[in-house]
Chains A and B, each alone.
Chain A
Amino acid sequence: MRLEKCWFCSSTVYPGHGIQFVRNDAKIFRFCRSKCHKNFKMKRNPRKVKWTKAFRRLHGKDMTQDSTFEFERKRNRPERYDRNVTMETLKAIKKIDKIRVAREARHHKMRMKGKKGIEQKAAERELEQGISLVKAPLALREESSLTLSKIKVKVSQPQAEYQMEE
Chain B
Amino acid sequence: MAAFVASKWSKVGPPLLDNLRSSRLLEPFGKFQDIASPGWNGLLFQQLRTFIQMRTKLKVVDNSGAKWVRCIQALKGRKGARLGDTIIASVQEAQPRGKVKKGEVVYGVVVRAAMQRGRCDGSEIRFDDNAVVLVNKQGEPIGTRIFGPVPHELRRKKHLKILTLAEHIA
B42 close to A23 (CB less than 8 A): no
A159 within 8 A of B: yes
B27 within 8 A of A: yes
Stretch of A57-65, A97-105, A129-137 at the chain-chain interface: A129-137
A151 within 8 A of B: yes
A94 within 8 A of B: no
User: How far is it, in angstroms, between the C-alpha of A26 and the C-alpha of B152 when the chains are bound?
Assistant: 13
Tell me the smallest distance from the CB of B118 to a CB of chain A, in Å. 10
User: How far is it, in angstroms, between the C-alpha of A155 and the C-alpha of B15 when the chains are bound?
Assistant: 8
A120 within 8 A of B: yes
Task: Number of B interface residues at 8 Å Cβ cutoff, please give it.
Answer: 41
A15 within 8 A of B: yes
Known: A19-B126, A22-B127, A124-B8. A132 touches B20 (CB 8 A): yes
The contact string, 1 if C-beta is below 8 Å from chain A, for chain B 110-146, is 0010001000011111111100000000000000000
B25 close to A158 (CB less than 8 A): no
User: How far is it, in angstroms, between the C-alpha of A63 and the C-alpha of B76 when the chains are bound?
Assistant: 52
User: How far is it, in angstroms, between the C-alpha of A96 and the C-alpha of B113 when the chains are bound?
Assistant: 43
A147 within 8 A of B: yes
Residues of B within 8 A of A (CB): 1-2, 5-6, 8-15, 17-18, 20-21, 24-25, 27-28, 39, 42-43, 46, 112, 116, 121-129, 148-149, 151, 167-168, 170
Residues of A within 8 A of B (CB): 13, 15-26, 28, 38, 41-43, 120, 123-124, 127-132, 137-138, 140-141, 147-148, 150-151, 154-155, 158-159, 161-162
